[in-house]
Structure 1
Amino acid sequence: MTSISKTTIDFLKALKENNNRDWFTEHKADFQKEQKRAKDFYNAILEKLKLHDDIESLKIFRIYRDVRFSLDKTPYKPHFAGNFVRATNKLRGGYYLRIRPGESFLAGGFWEPNKEDLLRIRKEFEMDASEIREIINNPTFLKYFGKLEGESLKTAPRGFDKEHPNMDLIRRKQFIVTRSFTDEEVFSPNFLEEINNSYKAMRPYFDYMSEILTTDLNGVSIID
Protein backbone atom coordinates (compact mmCIF):
# COMPACT_ATOMS: atom_id res chain seq x y z
CA MET A 1 0.00 0.00 0.00
CA THR A 2 1.83 3.12 -1.22
CA SER A 3 -0.85 5.72 -0.55
CA ILE A 4 -3.54 6.59 1.99
CA SER A 5 -7.05 5.91 0.76
CA LYS A 6 -9.71 8.60 0.97
CA THR A 7 -11.82 5.96 2.71
CA THR A 8 -9.29 6.00 5.57
CA ILE A 9 -9.79 9.73 6.07
CA ASP A 10 -13.56 9.31 5.79
CA PHE A 11 -13.55 6.56 8.44
CA LEU A 12 -11.49 8.67 10.84
CA LYS A 13 -13.84 11.62 10.34
CA ALA A 14 -16.80 9.39 11.15
CA LEU A 15 -15.00 8.03 14.23
CA LYS A 16 -14.35 11.55 15.50
CA GLU A 17 -18.04 12.36 15.16
CA ASN A 18 -19.14 9.05 16.75
CA ASN A 19 -16.46 8.42 19.33
CA ASN A 20 -18.26 5.83 21.43
CA ARG A 21 -18.05 2.09 21.93
CA ASP A 22 -21.42 1.24 20.39
CA TRP A 23 -20.60 2.95 17.08
CA PHE A 24 -17.10 1.49 17.03
CA THR A 25 -18.37 -2.01 17.68
CA GLU A 26 -20.90 -1.66 14.87
CA HIS A 27 -18.15 -0.49 12.49
CA LYS A 28 -15.37 -2.80 13.72
CA ALA A 29 -15.01 -4.43 10.31
CA ASP A 30 -14.51 -1.02 8.68
CA PHE A 31 -11.90 -0.16 11.29
CA GLN A 32 -9.99 -3.38 10.70
CA LYS A 33 -9.96 -2.77 6.95
CA GLU A 34 -8.66 0.80 7.33
CA GLN A 35 -6.19 -0.23 10.00
CA LYS A 36 -4.69 -2.80 7.65
CA ARG A 37 -4.42 -0.20 4.90
CA ALA A 38 -2.69 2.17 7.32
CA LYS A 39 -0.29 -0.53 8.54
CA ASP A 40 0.60 -1.39 4.96
CA PHE A 41 1.34 2.27 4.31
CA TYR A 42 3.54 2.58 7.40
CA ASN A 43 5.43 -0.52 6.33
CA ALA A 44 5.95 1.00 2.89
CA ILE A 45 7.51 4.03 4.62
CA LEU A 46 9.69 1.67 6.65
CA GLU A 47 11.07 0.09 3.49
CA LYS A 48 11.85 3.54 2.08
CA LEU A 49 13.54 4.62 5.31
CA LYS A 50 15.73 1.53 5.38
CA LEU A 51 17.29 2.63 2.10
CA HIS A 52 18.87 5.70 3.72
CA ASP A 53 18.85 5.12 7.49
CA ASP A 54 19.34 2.31 10.00
CA ILE A 55 15.89 1.62 11.47
CA GLU A 56 15.48 -0.72 14.41
CA SER A 57 11.70 -0.98 14.53
CA LEU A 58 8.31 0.41 13.61
CA LYS A 59 5.75 0.93 16.36
CA ILE A 60 2.16 1.59 15.30
CA PHE A 61 0.16 2.97 18.20
CA ARG A 62 -3.14 1.48 19.35
CA ILE A 63 -6.30 3.38 18.54
CA TYR A 64 -7.63 2.84 22.06
CA ARG A 65 -7.14 5.76 24.47
CA ASP A 66 -6.05 5.44 28.09
CA VAL A 67 -8.71 7.60 29.73
CA ARG A 68 -7.88 6.84 33.38
CA PHE A 69 -6.20 10.20 34.03
CA SER A 70 -7.79 12.27 31.28
CA LEU A 71 -10.71 14.68 31.37
CA ASP A 72 -11.45 13.59 27.80
CA LYS A 73 -13.22 10.24 28.18
CA THR A 74 -13.69 9.49 24.47
CA PRO A 75 -12.42 5.93 24.07
CA TYR A 76 -10.69 6.16 20.67
CA LYS A 77 -8.04 8.21 18.95
CA PRO A 78 -9.47 9.48 15.64
CA HIS A 79 -6.14 8.95 13.92
CA PHE A 80 -3.48 6.42 13.00
CA ALA A 81 0.03 7.05 14.25
CA GLY A 82 3.40 5.35 14.13
CA ASN A 83 7.00 5.82 15.20
CA PHE A 84 10.16 4.65 13.42
CA VAL A 85 13.02 4.00 15.86
CA ARG A 86 16.60 4.46 14.70
CA ALA A 87 18.94 1.58 15.47
CA THR A 88 21.83 1.38 17.98
CA ASN A 89 22.77 3.85 20.69
CA LYS A 90 24.82 5.81 18.14
CA LEU A 91 21.77 6.99 16.22
CA ARG A 92 19.57 9.34 18.20
CA GLY A 93 16.17 10.75 17.35
CA GLY A 94 13.20 9.10 15.68
CA TYR A 95 10.60 9.60 12.96
CA TYR A 96 6.88 10.02 13.66
CA LEU A 97 3.78 10.19 11.46
CA ARG A 98 0.16 10.86 12.38
CA ILE A 99 -2.76 10.53 9.96
CA ARG A 100 -5.74 12.52 11.23
CA PRO A 101 -8.37 14.40 9.20
CA GLY A 102 -7.31 18.02 8.93
CA GLU A 103 -4.44 17.50 11.38
CA SER A 104 -1.95 15.13 9.78
CA PHE A 105 1.73 15.75 10.38
CA LEU A 106 5.13 14.14 10.57
CA ALA A 107 7.75 14.96 13.16
CA GLY A 108 11.17 14.08 14.42
CA GLY A 109 13.62 15.13 17.06
CA PHE A 110 13.81 15.17 20.83
CA TRP A 111 10.50 15.59 22.65
CA GLU A 112 11.55 15.14 26.29
CA PRO A 113 15.33 14.79 26.59
CA ASN A 114 16.43 13.43 29.96
CA LYS A 115 18.30 15.88 32.18
CA GLU A 116 21.72 14.53 31.19
CA ASP A 117 21.01 14.83 27.46
CA LEU A 118 19.42 18.25 27.90
CA LEU A 119 22.44 19.57 29.80
CA ARG A 120 24.81 18.13 27.17
CA ILE A 121 22.88 19.85 24.37
CA ARG A 122 22.81 23.16 26.22
CA LYS A 123 26.53 22.98 26.97
CA GLU A 124 27.22 22.40 23.27
CA PHE A 125 25.16 25.43 22.28
CA GLU A 126 26.86 27.47 24.98
CA MET A 127 30.24 26.57 23.54
CA ASP A 128 29.36 26.87 19.83
CA ALA A 129 26.01 27.09 18.03
CA SER A 130 27.32 27.86 14.58
CA GLU A 131 26.76 24.33 13.25
CA ILE A 132 23.18 23.96 14.49
CA ARG A 133 22.32 27.41 13.13
CA GLU A 134 23.75 26.45 9.76
CA ILE A 135 21.58 23.31 9.75
CA ILE A 136 18.30 24.99 10.76
CA ASN A 137 18.88 27.90 8.37
CA ASN A 138 19.68 25.63 5.43
CA PRO A 139 17.21 26.15 2.54
CA THR A 140 16.23 22.46 2.54
CA PHE A 141 15.46 22.50 6.26
CA LEU A 142 13.46 25.70 5.87
CA LYS A 143 11.56 24.28 2.89
CA TYR A 144 10.39 21.19 4.76
CA PHE A 145 10.13 22.34 8.37
CA GLY A 146 10.34 26.11 8.55
CA LYS A 147 11.88 26.26 12.00
CA LEU A 148 12.98 24.30 15.04
CA GLU A 149 10.00 23.83 17.35
CA GLY A 150 9.29 22.89 20.96
CA GLU A 151 8.93 24.41 24.40
CA SER A 152 11.49 26.78 25.96
CA LEU A 153 12.14 28.16 29.40
CA LYS A 154 11.14 31.78 29.95
CA THR A 155 14.58 32.61 31.28
CA ALA A 156 18.11 31.19 31.33
CA PRO A 157 18.50 27.71 32.85
CA ARG A 158 20.45 27.56 36.09
CA GLY A 159 24.18 27.88 35.57
CA PHE A 160 23.98 29.71 32.24
CA ASP A 161 24.57 33.40 31.52
CA LYS A 162 21.21 34.99 30.67
CA GLU A 163 23.03 37.38 28.33
CA HIS A 164 24.64 34.58 26.32
CA PRO A 165 24.21 35.21 22.54
CA ASN A 166 22.90 31.67 22.05
CA MET A 167 20.32 31.88 24.82
CA ASP A 168 17.48 31.40 22.32
CA LEU A 169 18.80 27.86 21.81
CA ILE A 170 20.03 27.21 25.34
CA ARG A 171 16.58 27.97 26.81
CA ARG A 172 14.99 25.18 24.77
CA LYS A 173 13.53 22.13 26.52
CA GLN A 174 12.46 20.41 23.30
CA PHE A 175 14.09 20.14 19.88
CA ILE A 176 11.46 19.12 17.35
CA VAL A 177 10.86 19.48 13.63
CA THR A 178 7.40 19.05 12.09
CA ARG A 179 5.63 19.22 8.75
CA SER A 180 1.83 19.39 8.40
CA PHE A 181 -0.31 18.02 5.57
CA THR A 182 -3.79 18.76 4.28
CA ASP A 183 -6.20 15.88 3.65
CA GLU A 184 -5.71 16.36 -0.09
CA GLU A 185 -1.95 15.97 0.36
CA VAL A 186 -2.45 12.87 2.51
CA PHE A 187 -4.32 10.87 -0.09
CA SER A 188 -2.37 12.19 -3.08
CA PRO A 189 -0.30 9.61 -5.00
CA ASN A 190 3.02 11.24 -4.04
CA PHE A 191 2.37 11.35 -0.27
CA LEU A 192 4.78 8.48 0.39
CA GLU A 193 7.59 10.28 -1.45
CA GLU A 194 6.85 13.53 0.36
CA ILE A 195 7.18 11.74 3.70
CA ASN A 196 10.37 10.01 2.66
CA ASN A 197 11.90 13.23 1.34
CA SER A 198 10.96 14.98 4.57
CA TYR A 199 12.66 12.30 6.63
CA LYS A 200 15.74 12.58 4.43
CA ALA A 201 15.77 16.31 5.12
CA MET A 202 15.97 15.56 8.86
CA ARG A 203 19.21 13.63 8.56
CA PRO A 204 21.72 16.51 8.89
CA TYR A 205 19.89 17.56 12.07
CA PHE A 206 19.77 14.00 13.43
CA ASP A 207 23.40 13.34 12.56
CA TYR A 208 24.53 16.51 14.33
CA MET A 209 22.44 15.85 17.46
CA SER A 210 23.57 12.22 17.54
CA GLU A 211 27.19 13.33 17.51
CA ILE A 212 26.55 15.72 20.42
CA LEU A 213 24.77 13.09 22.50
CA THR A 214 27.37 10.39 21.98
CA THR A 215 30.47 12.49 22.74
CA ASP A 216 31.75 14.75 25.51
CA LEU A 217 32.53 18.44 25.02
CA ASN A 218 35.97 17.48 23.70
CA GLY A 219 34.41 15.33 20.98
CA VAL A 220 35.47 12.05 22.61
CA SER A 221 32.99 9.17 22.33
CA ILE A 222 31.15 8.27 25.53
CA ILE A 223 29.69 5.01 24.19
CA ASP A 224 31.26 1.65 23.39
Structure 2
Amino acid sequence: MPKATPYFTPATLQFLRDLAANNSREWFTAHKRDYEQQVKLPFLRLIGDLDAPLKAISAQYVANPKPVGGSMFRIHRDTRFAADKTPYKPWAGASFYHQATRAVIRGGDADQGTMGRLDAPGFYLHIKPGDSFCGGGIWHPQPETLKRIRTYLVNNPASWKAATRSAAFRKTFGDLGGDSAKRVPAGYDPAHELIDDIKRKDYIASVALDDDTLLAPDLLKRIVRHYEQVGPLIDWLCGALDLDY
Protein backbone atom coordinates (compact mmCIF):
# COMPACT_ATOMS: atom_id res chain seq x y z
CA MET A 1 0.00 0.00 0.00
CA PRO A 2 1.49 3.39 -0.97
CA LYS A 3 2.34 5.77 1.86
CA ALA A 4 -0.28 8.46 2.46
CA THR A 5 0.65 11.94 1.26
CA PRO A 6 0.52 14.63 3.96
CA TYR A 7 -2.05 17.34 3.41
CA PHE A 8 0.08 20.13 4.83
CA THR A 9 3.80 20.87 4.71
CA PRO A 10 6.17 23.20 6.56
CA ALA A 11 5.42 25.70 3.77
CA THR A 12 1.79 25.79 4.97
CA LEU A 13 2.80 26.85 8.45
CA GLN A 14 5.39 29.26 7.12
CA PHE A 15 2.82 31.00 4.94
CA LEU A 16 0.52 31.50 7.94
CA ARG A 17 3.42 32.84 10.03
CA ASP A 18 4.38 35.21 7.24
CA LEU A 19 0.78 36.37 6.86
CA ALA A 20 0.60 37.12 10.58
CA ALA A 21 3.72 39.25 10.23
CA ASN A 22 2.66 40.93 6.96
CA ASN A 23 -1.09 41.25 7.24
CA SER A 24 -1.82 43.66 4.40
CA ARG A 25 -3.65 43.51 1.11
CA GLU A 26 -0.47 44.34 -0.79
CA TRP A 27 1.47 41.45 0.73
CA PHE A 28 -1.37 38.97 0.34
CA THR A 29 -1.93 39.93 -3.30
CA ALA A 30 1.75 39.32 -4.01
CA HIS A 31 1.59 35.92 -2.27
CA LYS A 32 -1.91 34.78 -3.23
CA ARG A 33 -0.56 31.87 -5.26
CA ASP A 34 1.30 30.64 -2.16
CA TYR A 35 -1.96 30.78 -0.21
CA GLU A 36 -3.77 28.79 -2.89
CA GLN A 37 -1.06 26.12 -3.19
CA GLN A 38 0.06 25.80 0.42
CA VAL A 39 -3.14 26.39 2.39
CA LYS A 40 -6.40 26.48 0.46
CA LEU A 41 -6.03 23.55 -1.95
CA PRO A 42 -4.58 21.13 0.63
CA PHE A 43 -7.31 22.11 3.09
CA LEU A 44 -10.05 21.56 0.51
CA ARG A 45 -8.56 18.13 -0.27
CA LEU A 46 -8.65 17.27 3.43
CA ILE A 47 -12.25 18.46 3.70
CA GLY A 48 -13.27 16.31 0.73
CA ASP A 49 -11.56 13.28 2.25
CA LEU A 50 -13.31 13.90 5.59
CA ASP A 51 -16.83 13.67 4.19
CA ALA A 52 -17.14 9.88 4.04
CA PRO A 53 -15.63 9.11 7.47
CA LEU A 54 -17.63 11.95 9.01
CA LYS A 55 -20.83 10.46 7.60
CA ALA A 56 -19.80 7.13 9.12
CA ILE A 57 -19.88 8.90 12.49
CA SER A 58 -23.18 10.65 11.73
CA ALA A 59 -24.94 10.70 8.38
CA GLN A 60 -26.35 14.11 9.31
CA TYR A 61 -23.04 15.95 9.00
CA VAL A 62 -21.48 17.50 5.90
CA ALA A 63 -17.84 18.15 4.99
CA ASN A 64 -18.26 20.37 1.94
CA PRO A 65 -15.10 21.02 -0.14
CA LYS A 66 -16.62 23.75 -2.31
CA PRO A 67 -14.16 26.67 -2.53
CA VAL A 68 -16.96 29.17 -1.89
CA GLY A 69 -19.87 28.50 0.46
CA GLY A 70 -18.45 25.20 1.70
CA SER A 71 -16.94 24.14 5.00
CA MET A 72 -13.74 26.18 4.76
CA PHE A 73 -13.80 29.68 6.18
CA ARG A 74 -12.81 32.63 4.03
CA ILE A 75 -9.33 34.00 4.63
CA HIS A 76 -10.75 37.53 4.60
CA ARG A 77 -11.77 39.03 7.93
CA ASP A 78 -14.97 40.98 8.43
CA THR A 79 -13.57 44.21 9.85
CA ARG A 80 -16.72 46.32 9.80
CA PHE A 81 -17.29 46.19 13.55
CA ALA A 82 -13.87 44.98 14.69
CA ALA A 83 -11.21 46.96 16.49
CA ASP A 84 -8.61 44.86 14.67
CA LYS A 85 -8.62 46.09 11.08
CA THR A 86 -6.11 43.62 9.67
CA PRO A 87 -7.71 42.23 6.50
CA TYR A 88 -6.80 38.52 6.75
CA LYS A 89 -6.99 35.68 9.24
CA PRO A 90 -3.55 34.22 9.99
CA TRP A 91 -5.18 30.82 10.39
CA ALA A 92 -7.42 28.47 8.42
CA GLY A 93 -10.61 26.91 9.71
CA ALA A 94 -13.49 24.70 8.66
CA SER A 95 -16.83 23.79 10.19
CA PHE A 96 -18.69 20.60 9.37
CA TYR A 97 -22.35 21.36 9.73
CA HIS A 98 -25.62 19.52 10.29
CA GLN A 99 -27.43 18.94 7.02
CA ALA A 100 -30.62 20.41 8.50
CA THR A 101 -28.91 23.79 8.27
CA ARG A 102 -27.97 23.40 4.60
CA ALA A 103 -30.99 25.23 3.25
CA VAL A 104 -30.10 28.46 5.03
CA ILE A 105 -26.33 28.50 4.50
CA ARG A 106 -25.30 31.34 2.21
CA GLY A 107 -22.21 31.26 0.04
CA GLY A 108 -19.25 32.96 1.66
CA ASP A 109 -20.80 33.16 5.10
CA ALA A 110 -18.92 30.25 6.63
CA ASP A 111 -17.09 32.56 9.00
CA GLN A 112 -20.16 34.01 10.71
CA GLY A 113 -19.49 31.63 13.58
CA THR A 114 -17.69 28.37 14.04
CA MET A 115 -19.43 25.32 15.36
CA GLY A 116 -22.72 26.95 16.29
CA ARG A 117 -23.08 29.38 13.40
CA LEU A 118 -26.66 28.31 12.66
CA ASP A 119 -27.62 27.12 16.13
CA ALA A 120 -26.88 23.49 15.41
CA PRO A 121 -23.93 21.64 16.92
CA GLY A 122 -21.11 20.76 14.57
CA PHE A 123 -17.52 19.64 14.19
CA TYR A 124 -14.62 22.07 13.75
CA LEU A 125 -10.99 22.16 12.59
CA HIS A 126 -8.57 25.05 13.17
CA ILE A 127 -5.10 25.31 11.65
CA LYS A 128 -2.62 27.81 13.02
CA PRO A 129 1.10 27.36 13.68
CA GLY A 130 1.50 26.24 17.27
CA ASP A 131 -2.22 26.54 18.00
CA SER A 132 -4.14 24.04 15.86
CA PHE A 133 -7.05 22.07 17.28
CA CYS A 134 -10.18 20.12 16.40
CA GLY A 135 -13.37 19.26 18.21
CA GLY A 136 -17.03 20.10 18.22
CA GLY A 137 -20.08 21.44 19.99
CA ILE A 138 -22.12 24.60 19.74
CA TRP A 139 -20.58 28.06 20.00
CA HIS A 140 -22.42 31.31 20.82
CA PRO A 141 -25.97 29.96 20.32
CA GLN A 142 -28.87 32.37 20.23
CA PRO A 143 -30.60 33.00 23.59
CA GLU A 144 -33.59 30.77 22.82
CA THR A 145 -31.29 27.93 21.73
CA LEU A 146 -29.18 28.34 24.84
CA LYS A 147 -32.29 28.21 27.01
CA ARG A 148 -33.37 24.95 25.34
CA ILE A 149 -29.96 23.40 26.00
CA ARG A 150 -29.96 24.49 29.64
CA THR A 151 -33.49 23.23 30.22
CA TYR A 152 -32.67 19.91 28.58
CA LEU A 153 -29.60 19.65 30.80
CA VAL A 154 -31.67 20.22 33.94
CA ASN A 155 -34.15 17.55 32.81
CA ASN A 156 -31.53 15.05 31.64
CA PRO A 157 -28.57 15.21 34.02
CA ALA A 158 -27.69 11.51 33.71
CA SER A 159 -27.35 11.59 29.94
CA TRP A 160 -25.30 14.81 30.13
CA LYS A 161 -22.87 13.23 32.56
CA ALA A 162 -22.67 10.09 30.41
CA ALA A 163 -21.84 12.21 27.36
CA THR A 164 -19.25 14.52 28.94
CA ARG A 165 -17.95 12.97 32.17
CA SER A 166 -16.73 9.59 30.96
CA ALA A 167 -13.07 8.78 31.58
CA ALA A 168 -12.41 8.53 27.84
CA PHE A 169 -14.02 11.89 27.09
CA ARG A 170 -12.22 13.67 29.93
CA LYS A 171 -8.88 12.11 29.02
CA THR A 172 -9.09 13.52 25.49
CA PHE A 173 -10.85 16.85 26.02
CA GLY A 174 -10.59 17.68 29.70
CA ASP A 175 -13.12 20.36 30.67
CA LEU A 176 -15.43 21.91 28.12
CA GLY A 177 -14.32 25.21 26.63
CA GLY A 178 -15.99 28.50 25.78
CA ASP A 179 -17.58 31.27 27.84
CA SER A 180 -19.76 31.03 30.92
CA ALA A 181 -22.13 33.43 32.63
CA LYS A 182 -20.74 35.07 35.76
CA ARG A 183 -24.10 34.74 37.50
CA VAL A 184 -26.64 31.95 37.66
CA PRO A 185 -29.16 32.45 34.81
CA ALA A 186 -32.63 33.45 35.96
CA GLY A 187 -34.92 30.55 36.67
CA TYR A 188 -32.23 28.01 37.54
CA ASP A 189 -31.37 26.59 40.95
CA PRO A 190 -27.97 27.88 42.15
CA ALA A 191 -27.59 24.64 44.12
CA HIS A 192 -28.12 22.37 41.13
CA GLU A 193 -25.38 19.73 40.88
CA LEU A 194 -24.64 20.83 37.29
CA ILE A 195 -24.85 24.58 37.85
CA ASP A 196 -21.41 25.18 36.32
CA ASP A 197 -22.60 23.54 33.11
CA ILE A 198 -25.94 25.37 33.22
CA LYS A 199 -24.01 28.65 33.36
CA ARG A 200 -22.17 27.88 30.12
CA LYS A 201 -22.75 30.12 27.10
CA ASP A 202 -20.89 27.69 24.82
CA TYR A 203 -20.84 23.90 24.84
CA ILE A 204 -17.64 22.94 23.05
CA ALA A 205 -14.81 20.44 23.44
CA SER A 206 -11.48 20.54 21.64
CA VAL A 207 -8.11 18.83 21.53
CA ALA A 208 -4.83 20.40 20.44
CA LEU A 209 -3.04 19.29 17.28
CA ASP A 210 0.67 20.07 17.42
CA ASP A 211 2.57 21.03 14.29
CA ASP A 212 4.05 17.54 13.87
CA THR A 213 0.56 16.04 13.90
CA LEU A 214 -0.63 18.61 11.38
CA LEU A 215 2.13 17.62 8.97
CA ALA A 216 1.80 13.86 9.50
CA PRO A 217 0.50 11.54 6.76
CA ASP A 218 -2.11 10.13 9.17
CA LEU A 219 -3.68 13.53 10.00
CA LEU A 220 -7.04 12.47 8.55
CA LYS A 221 -7.14 9.35 10.71
CA ARG A 222 -6.33 11.34 13.84
CA ILE A 223 -8.99 13.97 13.17
CA VAL A 224 -11.62 11.30 12.53
CA ARG A 225 -10.70 9.62 15.81
CA HIS A 226 -11.18 12.87 17.71
CA TYR A 227 -14.53 13.44 16.00
CA GLU A 228 -15.60 9.98 17.12
CA GLN A 229 -14.57 10.89 20.65
CA VAL A 230 -16.50 14.18 20.65
CA GLY A 231 -19.52 12.45 19.11
CA PRO A 232 -21.36 11.89 22.44
CA LEU A 233 -21.42 15.66 23.06
CA ILE A 234 -22.68 16.38 19.54
CA ASP A 235 -25.30 13.63 19.89
CA TRP A 236 -26.50 15.03 23.22
CA LEU A 237 -26.76 18.57 21.84
CA CYS A 238 -28.71 17.30 18.83
CA GLY A 239 -31.13 15.67 21.27
CA ALA A 240 -31.51 18.94 23.15
CA LEU A 241 -32.45 20.71 19.90
CA ASP A 242 -34.63 17.95 18.40
CA LEU A 243 -32.15 17.22 15.62
CA ASP A 244 -31.30 13.79 14.27
CA TYR A 245 -27.80 12.48 14.87
TM-score, length basis structure 2: 0.80
Counterpart of 2:12 (choices 8, 11, 14) is: 8
5+ residue gaps in structure 2?
A: 65-70, 102-119
Q: CA deviation at 1:114?
A: 2.3
Higher-Rg member (1/2)? 1
Task: Report the counterpart of residue 201 of structure 1 in structure 2.
Answer: 229
Task: Report the counterpart of residue 219 of structure 1 in structure 2.
Answer: none
Alignment of 1:125-164 (within 5 A): 125-164=153-192
| SS state at 2:237 partner | helix
CA distance in 1, matches of 2:210, 2:196: 31
Q: CA deviation at 1:186?
A: 0.9
Q: CA deviation at 1:2?
A: 5.1
Task: Report the counterpart of residue 49 of structure 2 in structure 1.
Answer: 44
Change (3 A) 1:156 1:191: same
Instruction: Give the AA of the match of 1:15.
Output: L
CA distance in 1, matches of 2:78, 2:176: 30
CA distance in 1, matches of 2:56, 2:194: 36
CA distance in 2, matches of 1:156, 1:85: 30
Q: 1:176 and 2:204 equivalent?
A: yes
Are 2:51 and 2:62, in contact at CA under 8 Å, matched by a contact in 1? no
Task: Report the counterpart of residue 185 of structure 1 in structure 2.
Answer: 213
Q: 1:212 and 2:240 equivalent?
A: yes
5+ residue gaps in structure 1?
A: 216-222
Q: 1:33 and 2:37 equivalent?
A: yes
CA distance in 2, matches of 1:24, 1:88: 36
TM-score, length basis structure 1: 0.87
CA distance in 1, matches of 2:207, 2:49: 19
Q: 1:84 and 2:93 equivalent?
A: no
CA distance in 2, matches of 1:87, 1:149: 24
Are 2:55 and 2:62, in contact at CA under 8 Å, matched by a contact in 1? no
Change (3 A) 1:147 1:64: same
Q: CA deviation at 1:184?
A: 1.5
CA distance in 1, matches of 2:222, 2:148: 33
Task: Report the counterpart of residue 110 of structure 1 in structure 2.
Answer: 138
Identity fraction in percent: 34
Task: Report the counterpart of residue 62 of structure 1 in structure 2.
Answer: 74
Instruction: Give the AA of the match of 1:6.
Output: P
Instruction: Give the AA of the match of 1:29.
Output: R
